[in-house]
Amino acid sequence: RHSLSPMGTTFFVDLFATWCNNKLSFYVSSVPDQRAQAVDAFSFQWDQLFAYTFPSFSLFPQVLQKERSSSARVIPNAPWWPECPWLHDLLALLVELPWRLQVRPDLQSQQKGAILHNHPEILHLYAWLISGDHSARMSFLRKLPLASSERNSLPLLGSMTPSGESSVIGVF
């Protein structure tokens, strides 16, 4: 077990990792890896799983589809990019407000920290606690205010409704 989140949450598995970027000793690799506990996170059920993940952005639609049909609790690191086509699906799976991640070059490192991201500030990364558990999502939505007056809040979160839909009025 290892604490990775700003809230000190303990995760049991790091999905979509490799030997050179895993954050936990128990990880699932996307490529054959003798150190990994399994290969291909999409090949097994996620029910009852509590996982950390930072998949490539191109895999996010698949990750969200997999999560939608599971009772797992997963914290993916993902950018706040309002134009992103999968952002609405991510917001619909939230069970807690996301945490803004610190802007640090080593947060997006490869090869065990040998290769750092040149411009981490463009990523606008957050840790999003999501779940396919309908009751957990509804409980979260009922706690949200109906509107947000905070200028720097995540725009879509401030306008999410208890039905799980979101709307935006105005211009970003």
User: With a threshold of 0.85, does the pTM exceed it?
Assistant: no
- Is residue 52 within 8 Å of residue 15, measured between CB atoms? yes
- Is residue 112 within 8 Å of residue 20, measured between CB atoms? yes
pLDDT in tens, 51-99: 988 888 899 999 999 999 998 899 998 888 888 899 999 999 999 999 8
SS3 8: coil
Query: Please, which residues bridge with residue 110 across strands?
Result: 115
SS3 59: helix
